Structure 1
Amino acid sequence: MEKIELGKSGLKSAPIIFGGNVFGWTLDEKESFKMLDELYELGFTTIDTADVYSRWADAVPHGTSERIIGKWIKDRRVRDKINLITKGGSSLQPGGPKNNSRDYLTGAVQDSLSRLQTDYIDLYFTHFDDGETPVNQALEAYQKFIESGEIKHIGASNFSAERLQKSLNIAAENNLPAYEVFQPEYNLMVRDKFEGEIEEICSKNNLGVIPYFSLASGFLTGKYRKKEDFEGKERKMFADKFLNDRGEKILKSLDEISENHNISQAGVALAWLINRPGVSAPIASATKSSHLKSFKEAVEVSLSREDMEVLNKGSKQE
């Protein structure tokens, strides 16, 4: 599988990054190991997680995803074959305050290294900007870990255009490490959180871009077309908001392209992202072996200019 570069970081990845939020949430440890084994065999070896990923509803401890991934990597002895991405700065409780202070992030990095059972993290993200802490504090915290080799590269997620640009300016002005990759919410349903000013900043500074919620929490698989389809599903809290006229229009566009290429709607949605300007590699999750088929489809399909136009027009936000 052809590898792509994540901006100017030097990191190379398969065209799709696996989202580890499912580990310890919808997949238990045994199921997670099976999924990780399959991903590895298919060549999808960049894994994205975070210190907060767990199953809050059932009081599963935060960091469960990191613990599972760390245990799998150690058991399979594949650390040098995996690009490991994690994040810190988000609240350990749903809806809680964010914290990008130097001391907090220093502790967060140390805890992640311990849970992941590794000497280094390939790419570490400031998960959410708290909007208040001077941006230099996060960069100063990361500088010590970069100097020790415990963090190789850093990125920012969910930043406003203003705070992202300020972070880049402060890094340049003060000889601090700079963010090299940006992680926004971006998909056919949600385009305005990346397109525009943030996209321009990323392009100007050659930042790699790895969007999350690439399938809009499963909505873009085409499996959820009415509210009843979400009943009893974990993703209801994230995706039933897309059941509207615009969502229906986008699903029709996906149906059309899917039928033309004889691939799944999920494969088309991921392929759209892979082919979008500025995007390095979308992040996507899976809970069943069969779901990985869409990863292969997205990487192998060749969407025409007309295909892209149908999807662009159908998903345009007013």
Structure 2
Amino acid sequence: MAQHAPVRIGSSELEIVPLALGGNVFGWTADREGSFEVLDAFLAGGGDFIDTADGYSHWVPGNTGGESETIIGQWLAARGGRDDVVIATKVSTHPEFSGLAADNVRAAADASLARLGTDRIDLYYAHYDDAETPLEETVAAFSALVDAGKARAIGVSNYTAERVAEWIGIARAGGYHLPVALQPHYNLVERDFETNGLREVAEREGLAVFPYYSLAKGFLAGKYRDAADATAPGASDRAAGAAEYLDARGRRVLAALDAAAAAHGTEVATVALAWLRQQPVVAAPIASARTTAQLPALLASVDLELSAAELAALGAASA
């Protein structure tokens, strides 16, 4: 990766290289040793932004939640250099810390800090909206974490545009810290973000957008080109989800990605991530790597600048 100009996360003081390493695989499809190798290689390749959640990966048999944070914390303890990375984590899906009531947000944040072995969470997200808790209670709880120095900035994930706007309105009226980041589901084959009001609210409020499933469970890496690929030996746990995109539109998208990748002498995944990074309000895509072999294509996306014609061709293919 060349030296890329850092991107500021909304109105915060946080700056990052525009690629987030997804931590959902740590403690799931990547064990502790493999996770350490991926984290080392990501940092060595110029990356500095790590995205995780307290719930990762409670869905794995034998796991209880917090595995990803624990591995990241152990890596930080072994390597040092806490100031060299920006860490985002989330609250609401850990089995012991479900929802966004104020007491739960406080307790979950302390538990995350302990697992990460750090004194502050750089970017702390409300992972999923909690309709059972008054939004004002949640907004105040997150703001209090910033006042206490436990979180440096606030983000929201998986909220509707209306609820994001409501959060911001409550924060302004109450004098609370405003959110600076938004994490939606968005990629070249999942484009509701452009029309469901979330992009509009992000533009209006200056929110930095960090899309998850940036590679559509591996489909946009070009790994799955027929149904058999998803059931082949060695296929990932997410292969079945990726195979769902193998319709006429999906094949058009792959053809457009292939053309751009060939023109730049790069990987299909690199092009898909570069397209996403160059969309309005997107600060950085989130992508995970189970092995170090998957990292170069992700890191290369930071420096790939697609032309207006290439962006348009990809957009048309996925329309």
Return the TM-score normalized by structure 1: 0.94
Report the residue type matching 2:191 in the other structure: R
8 Å CA contact 2:27, 2:67 repeated in 1: yes
Q: Give aligned pairs, total.
A: 313
Report the residue type matching 2:61 in the other structure: D
CA distance in structure 1 between the partners assigned to 2:185 and 2:247 by the alignment: 19
Query: How do 1:57-136 and structure 2 match up within 5 A?
Result: 57-90=60-93, 92=95, 99-136=99-136
SS of the counterpart of 2:104? helix
Which deviations, in whole Å up to 9, do the C-alpha atoms of 1:75-116 show, x marking residues without a partner?
A: 1111111101000012539xxx96121122121111111111
Paired residue for 1:259?
A: 262
CA distance in structure 2 between the partners assigned to 1:170 and 1:6 by the alignment: 21
Paired residue for 2:214?
A: 214
8 Å CA contact 2:157, 2:184 repeated in 1: yes
Q: How far off its partner does 1:195 sit?
A: 4.0
Query: How do 1:217-296 and structure 2 match up within 5 A?
Result: 217-231=217-231, 232-296=235-299
Q: How far off its partner does 1:288 sit?
A: 2.1
8 Å CA contact 1:209, 1:281 repeated in 2: yes
CA distance in structure 2 between the partners assigned to 1:158 and 1:244 by the alignment: 26
Paired residue for 1:156?
A: 156
Which deviations, in whole Å up to 9, do the C-alpha atoms of 1:208-264 show, x marking residues without a partner?
A: 111111101111011101222112521134322212221111111111111111111
SS of the counterpart of 1:246? helix
Identity of aligned residues (%): 38
Report the residue type matching 1:212 in the other structure: Y
Paired residue for 2:42?
A: 39
Report the residue type matching 1:161 in the other structure: A
Paired residue for 2:12?
A: 9
SS of the counterpart of 1:156? strand
SS of the counterpart of 2:302? helix
- Give the root-mean-square deviation of aligned CA atoms: 1.6
Question: Is the counterpart of residue 185 in structure 1 residue 185 in structure 2?
Answer: yes
8 Å CA contact 2:55, 2:92 repeated in 1: no
Which residue of the other structure, out of 300, 314, 318, is the alignment partner of 1:315?
Answer: 318
CA distance in structure 2 between the partners assigned to 1:288 and 1:255 by the alignment: 23
8 Å CA contact 1:98, 1:130 repeated in 2: no
8 Å CA contact 1:129, 1:158 repeated in 2: yes
Q: Structure 1 unaligned runs (5+)?
A: none
